[in-house]
Amino acid sequence: EVQLVETGGGLIQPGGSLRLSCAASGFTVSSNYMSWVRQAPGKGLEWVSFIYSGGSTYYTDSVKGRFTISRDNSRNTLYLQMNSLRAEDTAVYYCARASCTDNICPTHFSYWGQGTLVTVSS
Amino acid sequence: IVLTQSPGTLSLSPGERATLSCRASQSVTSTYLAWYQQKYGQAPRLLIYGASSRATGIPDRFSGSGSGTDFTLTISRLEPEDFAVYYCQQSGSSPPTFGQGTKVEIK
């Protein structure tokens, strides 16, 4: 059974740093397309970052240079290092596994964790 | 690509048919269009991918259709557990984007 469990959220002051973790089970993180998606309180979904199975990484413009996605193959865990945090980064952060359609990858998010709340406030 | 969902809120009774629209600012290849359901306090759940393929375990009362810039999610007969927020999502153009959501509420 595929499971994704995020941890690491919390209350952090503006300008601070936080590292989110996403422990995966039932599949191998390094062989899949993994992503972080966030949702500000009462708002919609926003894609944040991808790490492809080959190791390539991608970010939405608002977090480029501040956030870093990575993975630890030995722990089968995905990470999101968040630096220089701003109030507008306040959100529930979801870890998601992306899937392919007709051998085109990635096209959609097939598995999601329960999310971890990050609150940036003084 | 901006995805605009309509209506913002749909008020219906159990047993009724729900039709949700997702309009893209540019053409999206069907392969790259997906739909999700999100209940309050829960993570999103994949319903439809490739515009019309149901995800594993999704009841056949959920169906997706459309092409180009206009896509539709249809729930043929609403069950009590279907009242939730629905999002469309595209990944044909970077960055991947979501619509703002349609809330299906009990009338």
Q: What is the pLDDT of residue A103?
A: 87
B84 CB within 8 Å of a chain A CB: no
Best of A45, A67, A100 to disrupt the B interface (most B CBs within 10 Å) is A45
Are B92 and A106 contacting, i.e. CB atoms less than 8 angstroms apart? no
Q: Do A45 and B44 touch (CB under 8 A)?
A: yes
Over the range A58-83, which residues count as b (16 or more CB within 10 Å of their CB) and which as e?
bbbeebeeebbbebeeeebbbbbebe
Mean pLDDT value across residues A40-62: 97
What's chain B's average pLDDT? 97
Q: Do A45 and B91 touch (CB under 8 A)?
A: no
Other Cβ atoms less than 10 A from the Cβ of A26: the count is 11
Best of A43, A92, A107 to disrupt the B interface (most B CBs within 10 Å) is A107
Interatomic CA distance for residues A84 and A39, integer angstroms: 19
Query: Length of chain B in residues, anyone?
Result: 107
> Which residues share a beta bridge with A23?
A5, A77
Q: Give chain B positions within 8 Å (CB) of A115.
A: 43
Interface of A with B in 27-56 (CB under 8 A): 37, 44-47
Pairing outcome for strands A3-7 and A18-25: antiparallel
Percentage, residues of chain B above pLDDT 90: 99
Helix (H) or strand (E) segment spanning residue A48: strand A45-51
The 10s digit of each residue's pLDDT in A13-30 is 999 999 999 999 999 999
Interatomic CA distance for residues B76 and B94, integer angstroms: 32
The 10s digit of each residue's pLDDT in B54-83 is 999 999 999 999 999 999 999 999 999 999
Q: Do B31 and A113 touch (CB under 8 A)?
A: no
Cα–Cα nearest to B55, from B67, B44, B66: B44
Q: Is B48 exposed, middle or buried (0-12, 13-18, 19+ CB in 10 A)?
A: buried
